[in-house]
Amino acid sequence: MSRLEFAKSGKAACISHLDLMRTMSRSFLRAGFLLRHSEGFNPHASISVALPLPLGHESDCELMDFKLKEAVASDEIVVRLNRVLPEGLTALRVTESSRPFREIEYLRHRVELKYDGGTPAGAADTLTELFGSDDITVYRKTKKSEGDFNIAPCIKEKSFSPLPDGIRCEAVLTAMRPMLSPIYLIAAVERYAPALSPSFVRYRRIEILDGSMRRFE
């Protein structure tokens, strides 16, 4: 099993997970690679993506496992894929898959809160104080449950810094058991500091980490 690390940005952020899987399968074919397929009545390409990215979010570090029918050098796979991938999808590198995705523990996110009227005075300090609390409860809905949920224990690291037109937040959040989407950071702002509710938000996943806070590969 090989592992592709790729970036997803710009227009590609609007590609849904299912469309991404179809796009990647077709890109391998257009690049001249034959993917292995599962056996059975309804065979499908042997590819899987770790922790599918929410629609509209960008990423520097997406991971996809795949199997080819023939051995091909890693560098060649990257070069040939980048010739055919659509705008916004970029193959970064290919390695051997040595660790299962279930060993992923944390995700590092960059969240930019944008304000049409300029950055509110003291916003970074206010948000630092807010997210320093042990109780940050927001309404959260998942496939299995919905209701109030304290997100504070799911925030491993966080920092806030001012931008000319907003605030940049860098946060390390739990990736599994439970997975905390960065959208709930904004939900907390809207609930506890409504005056700092942003006009627009940009989300970017920048690093995948294991339980020791080391880069997952």
At residue 129, the pLDDT reads 96
**Model pLDDT for residues 46-93, shown as the tens digit of each residue:** 789 999 999 999 999 999 999 998 999 999 999 999 999 999 999 999
Task: Report the top-level CATH class of 2-98.
Answer: alpha beta
**Model pLDDT for residues 31-43, shown as the tens digit of each residue:** 999 988 766 666 6
Q: Which CATH architecture has domain 103-209?
A: 2-Layer Sandwich (3.30)
Where exactly are the structural domains of the chain? 2-98, 103-209
The yes-or-no answer to whether 2-98 and 103-209 have a common fold is yes
At residue 45, the pLDDT reads 74
Look at residue 114 and give its three-state secondary structure: strand
